[in-house]
Structures are given as structure tokens and as C-alpha cells.
């Protein structure tokens, strides 16, 4: 467990899907996988770690991919980011988790 680390999640995909529903715009939402949070805000009542869904959203010609960016520092937050691509430029092999060495 960490000392001061938290997990921060971008709400970009949730915001876009909510807007699409409101405007009746078709979209396709897929779960790419799940990752565990290692932050202080990820502890649960039964001592398991909170799991986060990593998603892919397709709207028209745009694709949004989420990724957990972790650090090996116990005080630096881990962040779930969202990156936008044109469907034709979408990476073929997307890693849902990436660690940055910052010791």
C-alpha cells in the first residue's frame, strides 16, 4: 500500500456517453479490462482493493481509450487518463496499464 498515493480517474468517457444519450447520438462503449487501484482512496471495508474499469468509447469516427498511468513512487498519484484517436489511427495493441519509473 502507499503512503500518500491516490487513484485519480478522468471522467471524460462518462461525460461523453451522458451527452450522447441526451442528444440521441449513437455510441459503442466497451470494457477493455479492469485494474486495481493502489491508493489510499482504494481501500475497501473488506481489505480488498478497488477495481476500475478501463473503457473504449467509439463515437462516429472518434475512439477514446482509457489507460491507467502508474508511478513507482509511493507518494505520486496514479491516474486513469483518456486519449482520443481517429478510428483509422487507433493503436492495434493498447496497454490498459503503464508504469512510469520516477524514483
Count of domains observed in the chain:
1
Which helix (H) or strand (E) segment holds residue 85: the answer is strand 78-86
What confidence category does residue 103 fall into, taking pLDDT thresholds of 50, 70 and 90?
A: low
Is residue 29 situated within a structural domain? yes
pTM: 0.88
Is residue 79 situated within a structural domain? yes
Is residue 49 situated within a structural domain? yes
Residue 31 has pLDDT above 70, yes or no: yes
Residue 48: predicted pLDDT = 73
Is residue 54 situated within a structural domain? yes
Q: Which residues contact 54 (CB under 8 A, 6 or more apart)?
A: 31, 32, 33, 34, 35, 66, 67, 68, 80, 96, 97
Is residue 1 situated within a structural domain? no
Is residue 72 situated within a structural domain? yes
Is residue 81 situated within a structural domain? yes
Range of the domain at 28: 7-100
Amino acid at each position: 500500500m502507499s503512503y500518500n498515493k491516490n487513484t485519480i480517474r478522468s471522467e471524460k468517457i462518462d461525460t461523453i456517453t451522458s451527452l450522447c444519450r441526451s442528444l440521441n447520438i449513437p455510441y459503442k462503449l466497451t470494457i477493455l479490462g479492469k485494474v486495481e487501484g493502489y491508493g489510499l482512496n482504494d481501500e475497501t471495508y473488506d481489505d480488498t482493493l478497488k477495481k476500475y474499469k478501463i473503457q473504449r468509447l467509439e463515437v462516429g469516427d472518434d475512439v477514446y481509450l482509457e489507460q491507467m498511468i502508474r508511478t513507482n513512487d509511493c507518494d505520486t498519484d496514479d491516474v486513469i487518463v483518456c486519449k482520443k484517436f481517429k478510428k483509422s489511427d487507433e493503436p492495434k495493441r493498447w496497454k490498459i496499464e503503464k508504469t512510469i519509473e520516477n524514483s
